[in-house]
């Protein structure tokens, strides 16, 4: 006989949990020069997209 708690959690199998980040992922998330580069690159992409949309008017 299963308890209510077990019935409520039967769907929580291993496949529903988040994966552990790799060492490279953790490094890139904490490496400030990489964060600055990504910030600058994303902002340059946004500026380019906005500039293109303003040229059409």
pLDDT tens digit sequence for 9-30: 777 776 777 789 999 999 999 9
Average pLDDT over all residues of the chain: 86
pLDDT reported for residue 19 = 85
Which value, in Å, is the radius of gyration of the alpha carbons in the chain? 22
pLDDT reported for residue 50 = 94
pLDDT reported for residue 57 = 60
Instruction: Indicate the DSSP class of residue 12.
Output: -
């Amino acid at each position: 006989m299963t308890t209510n708690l077990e019935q409520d959690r039967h769907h929580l199998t291993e496949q529903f949990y988040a994966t552990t980040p790799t060492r490279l992922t953790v490094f890139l998330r904490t490496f400030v020069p990489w964060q600055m580069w990504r910030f600058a690159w994303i902002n340059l992409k946004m500026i380019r997209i906005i500039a293109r949309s303003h040229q059409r008017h």
